[in-house]
A = this chain, B = another copy of it.
Amino acid sequence: MVAGGISGKDGPATLHLRTVAPLARYHDVMSQQFLDESISVLTRTPATLNSLLRDLPEAWTRAREGPGTWSPYTVAGHLIHCEKADWMVRAAIILEHGASRPFDPFDREAQFREPPDRPLSDLLDEFASLRRQNLARLRALDLQPFQLELQGTHPEFGPVTLRQLLATWTAHDLGHILQVTRVMARRYKEDVGPWAAYLSVMQ
């Protein structure tokens, strides 16, 4: 309350409305904008990976930065597993149970238990299909600003909000496109010769 000590015809309640209600509306607009912007990125990722990777020679799609590191193919498998077991699953836990029920731990290596000879085009198709379904679910929730602030419990680092989960989903997509292009670019580290010193991706 900012109205303490002010008197006159407008009592504290009126002042409260004048100062806090516009802020609340601003917060609502920003929340809607955050949701729209996140969804605009999440919607594009399957097409981006498709443009970048589909029908590309395996020398690119199976390239790695060294033993134990991930290829573009591995990333595609990981993204599928995230659609199945991470983002919307955890969003549902927050909405249904709040902070009282921690998320199940997520296995970052699950894709290595899938058959390694499945064509990448199948993986890209499955990822696109799962993403479409998950975004349809997200839109159907018609999340209100107060819901974005609802808390969940991460098994490792504790309290998180639904808003943070959705922001992470978005940044995680971008981070993995980044990873795919880095792995591919570094395949040419020797081939670019003296230009390597001028390409920050090679450092």
Q: Which residues of A contact B (CB under 8 A)?
A: 33-34, 36-37, 40-41, 44, 47-48, 50-52, 56-57, 59-60, 154, 157-158, 160-161, 163-164, 167-168, 170-172, 174-175, 177-178, 181-182, 184-185, 188, 191-195, 197, 199-202
- Main SS at interface, chain A: helix
Besides A44-B52, A50-B51, A174-B185, 17 more A-B contacts (Cβ < 8 Å) are A40-B57, A41-B56, A41-B60, A48-B51, A154-B194, A160-B193, A160-B195, A161-B193, A167-B191, A168-B192, A171-B201, A174-B182, A174-B201, A175-B185, A177-B177, A177-B181, A178-B178
Q: Select one of B51, B154, B174, B188 contacting A170, CB under 8 A.
A: B188
Whole-angstrom distance between the Cβ of A184 and the nearest chain B Cβ? 5
Whole-angstrom distance between the Cβ of A56 and the nearest chain B Cβ? 6
Whole-angstrom distance between the Cβ of A61 and the nearest chain B Cβ? 10
22 contacts between A and B (CB under 8 A): A34-B191, A37-B60, A40-B60, A41-B60, A48-B51, A51-B51, A154-B194, A157-B194, A160-B193, A161-B193, A164-B191, A164-B192, A168-B199, A171-B188, A172-B199, A175-B199, A177-B177, A177-B181, A178-B178, A178-B181, A178-B185, A181-B181
